[in-house]
Amino acid sequence: MYPQLLLPDLKEMLAEDDKAGLAEFCDVLYPPVAAEVLAGLPAEDVWRVLENCSLSRQVEIFEFFDLAKQIELVDKLDRKRLSRLIEEMSPDDRVDLLNRLDSDRVENLLPLIAQAERSDIRKLLSFPEHSAGAIMTTEYASLPADISVREALERLRKQAPNRETIYYVYILGDDRRLEGTVSLRELILAKPDAKLADIMRRDVISVRVDDDQEHVVQELGQYDFLAIPVVDSQNRLVGIVTHDDVLDIVQEEADEDAYRLGAVQPLEDSYLETPLLTIAWKRGVWLVPLMFAAVVTAFVQLQYEGVAEEHLWLGLFVPMVIACGGNAGSQSATLLIRALSLRQSGSFRGAGVIARELLVGFSLGIGLGLLGFLLTLLFVAPEHAMIVGSTVMLVVVMGAVMGAMLPILFERLGMDPALMSNPLVASLSDILGLLIYYNVAVLVL
């Protein structure tokens, strides 16, 4: 599929105002493909295309635009058209959109939206960001336990058109309490006269509405489910989270972790769609504290002015020595942050990890220290090169251990370990590295 190839045709149809052609474009293409082609047009033109098809089709296509494009598009709609669109959207997608709109605008819109949808929106908007409640959809298929498989299939047929998935069916008791699940595959395989109560699975894996989205990802990922039910504190079913939303979250979280590791505040849109000033701001908030950390190195060097002036060659190797600590530290921090993230946590003993890093640090330190010694021989006498070599060794051990300790410490304090970015680890190891270097020098010289 080469969606870009369709764009010229579409532009021609727009220029000729070929309504029949535009209607066909919307109706025949897969909605995600249509969205991809339309994303190349300005907002006004997107609506000129979409207004030729049914509202439900418009919404199907609209939901495949990324959030930034959706926001651009709704800016062109009056309140009335926007409220129709919101009504028709699936519950989870519309809450994502409303969360990004001005809250005055949302309050202005809500009165125009049908009662049932409005209370659904208010409910979903009330869940904290990144909770299971905020990412779930309320359009699940549910049935009572006391009907036959034949009747279940009959009822599912009626529910199907406005359910996000009918492949998992949730069996609800009194007060919407979640009693079991059955998959469409099981229904197809079961005898038509069997009762759902007899074929349903009763040990249901579910998440709580206030669980963090990372927990939802973990559970759905571990069990290979298509969807996972979300319940409240009384085990009443309130929604489901589907596999496609989990996939989006995993990618979002990976982006966030990567940004944090690089000392950038996570972006909400893609890099190219984020305004320059926002990017500068999201970087500046980290660069400024890092600058204050960096200035500490000048204070440290001032303390050792005496030995540095007496042995001017020491200065030659300052950048090299501190780089070694920063590199080893970045590696450990990266390994630990990934290990603490989504999947590998659980059986984690901080002390054991530090011991591991100490061992790895020593084996790497000895190798690099030797290499450092040999390379320094190009510049200075062996007794001086010894100082550089042993500093490299100690600095690598220090970097490895510190890079591992800090993310664990952040985790223990209830903070995101990924805040311990590579540049931050490097800054701290610069300071400690200098202290080690000058102390070794003072000791030996």
Scan residues 108-147 and list those touching its own copies (CB under 8 A): none
Which of the ranges 7-15, 82-90, 132-140, 376-384 carries the binding residues for its own copies, by CB under 8 A?
376-384
Q: Residue 80 and residue 64: Cα distance in Å, rounded?
A: 22
* Binding residue for its own copies, selected from 317, 373, 410, 438, defined by CB under 8 A: 317
Look-up: residue for tokens 């501190």? 322
Task: Identify the residue among 146, 271, 409, 415 touching its own copies (CB under 8 A).
Answer: 271
26 sits near its own copies (criterion: CB under 8 A)? no
Nearer to its own copies among residue 114 and residue 287 (C-beta): 287
237 beta partners: 231
What's the token pair of residue 218? 């973990």
Q: What angle do CA 229, 232, 233 make, to 5 degrees?
A: 130
> Does 283 contact its own copies by CB under 8 A?
yes
Task: Of 284, 317, 295, 301, give the one whose Cα is nearest residue 384.
Answer: 317
Using the rule CB under 8 A, which residue among 9, 114, 222, 444 binds its own copies? 222
CB 104, min distance to its own copies, A: 31
Q: Would you say the C-alpha torsion 63, 67, 68, 73 has a positive or negative sign?
A: positive
The span from the CA of 69 to the CA of 226, in Å, is 28
Contacting range for its own copies; rule: CB under 8 A; set: 8-16, 52-60, 160-168, 208-216: 160-168
Q: Which of 15, 20, 116, 288 binds its own copies (CB under 8 A)?
A: 288
Contact 63, 89 (CB under 8 A): yes
List 122, 162, 189, 415, residue binding its own copies (CB under 8 A):
189
CB atoms within 10 A of CB 155: 16
Which one of residues 15, 102, 104, 223 is an interface residue with its own copies (CB under 8 A)? Answer: 223
The interface region with its own copies, picked from 80-88, 104-112, 142-150, 423-431 by CB under 8 A, is: 423-431
Strand-strand pairing, 168-172 and 237-242: unpaired
Q: Smaller CB distance to its own copies: residue 31 or 173?
A: 31
DSSP result, 318-377: HHHHHHHHHHHHHHHHHHHHHHHSTTT-SS--HHHHHHHHHHHHHHHHHHHHHHHHHHHT
Residue 106 binds its own copies, judged by CB under 8 A: no
Q: Does 350 bind its own copies (CB under 8 A)?
A: no
Q: Does 379 bind its own copies (CB under 8 A)?
A: yes
442 contributes a contact to its own copies by CB under 8 A: no
272 binds its own copies (CB under 8 A): yes
- Measured from the CB atom, is 114 or 258 closer to its own copies? 258
